[in-house]
Amino acid sequence: MNGSEFFGPWEGEPVSSWQSAVQEIESVLTRTGQRRSVGWRGQVNAGWSLHSGLYRRLLTARAAGQAAPMEDDLLRAEEKIAGYVRTNWRFDQMPYLELLANLQHFRGPTRLLDVSLSPLVALWFAVERQHDDALDKVDGRIFAFDVTSRRVQLTENWSGYDIPWRESGSKTPWCRELPLLWRPPSYNERIPAQQSGFLLAGVPKVYGGGNAQYRKAPGTDTDSWKIDEVRRATSVPTRMVDRSGRAVSRSTEPTLTIRIAAEAKDEIRHRLERDYGYNPATMYPDLFGMAAEVRQAVDNAELLS
């Protein structure tokens, strides 16, 4: 199961130019309605699934034919990682969410999914130059998550040192509810530069065989994905809605998606960099980002020719 199979029926016509990209972003905002909060995520390959780094590693490690990881599998991995970090690096006083944010920043595996409150930032990530001909020549994708009523409130449990969702794992409304949005403090330079937030959720789950949330396509008469198929496409629950029509009801809290045609990436990237100042230096303003970009450019002989 890849992203194109699971999300493709909901994406509509691919974006083919800068102008159509702006129009489609406006269509998403119209569909979600005014005064709603949207978390945006850009992926350079439309065929990629919507998986956190930690879930993707667990899924890849599975033997052929084995079921996709469940919430308890993810929680056990988190417990081992947290214990390993706190024992060996002695970050005993760092709250758990802050620990995750720092791991995510330095590309450690966590259950967090990066999003931005800016659609243009997400668009830039969907068309970002990859220094890889194969990735530069495939379609990209944007996700839009309605997170209006789903912001993490840093209560004592959520701001502590233990895993906040430890007791929620298998019981759960946690694994049925749509993702929460956590907007962290500026632990590093990228968070304000990218208007960053993180999606947090349990691994998708259904009860008693009821699976209407995961329809295969728009419309009332359509099949639903099996839960193992859902988990192979996304590590967070979604409620997919197509971009056509009027604003959805406030209780729907939809997820929408836009496909970016590969041939449109150059123009869109040029307009974002020229008109809005989005480029690797502004998106990755820290030393870690600088070193990564220089390494890529050197590896591709862009700075040595």
Report the SS3 class of residue 150.
coil
Look up residue 251 and give its DSSP letter: T
258 vs 15: CA distance, rounded Å: 7
Q: Are the C-beta atoms of residues 34 and 248 closer than 8 Å to each other?
A: no
**pLDDT reported for residue 200:** 94
**pLDDT reported for residue 88:** 92
**pLDDT reported for residue 27:** 92
**pLDDT reported for residue 251:** 76
**pLDDT reported for residue 70:** 93
Residue 123: its H or E element: helix 119-127
Report the SS3 class of residue 122.
helix
**pLDDT reported for residue 207:** 66
CA-to-CA dists, residue 198 to 86, 190, 222, angstroms: 22, 13, 32
Only one residue has tokens 């590896």, namely: 299
pLDDT along the chain (305 residues), means of 10: 92 96 94 88 97 97 92 94 91 89 92 97 94 84 94 80 77 80 90 93 78 83 88 95 82 91 96 95 89 79 68
**pLDDT reported for residue 170:** 54
Q: Within its chain, how far is the Cα of 36 from the centroid?
A: 19
105 vs 278: CA distance, rounded Å: 19
**pLDDT reported for residue 269:** 96
pTM of the model: 0.92
Q: Are the C-beta atoms of residues 67 and 149 closer than 8 Å to each other?
A: no
Q: Are the C-beta atoms of residues 97 and 184 closer than 8 Å to each other?
A: yes
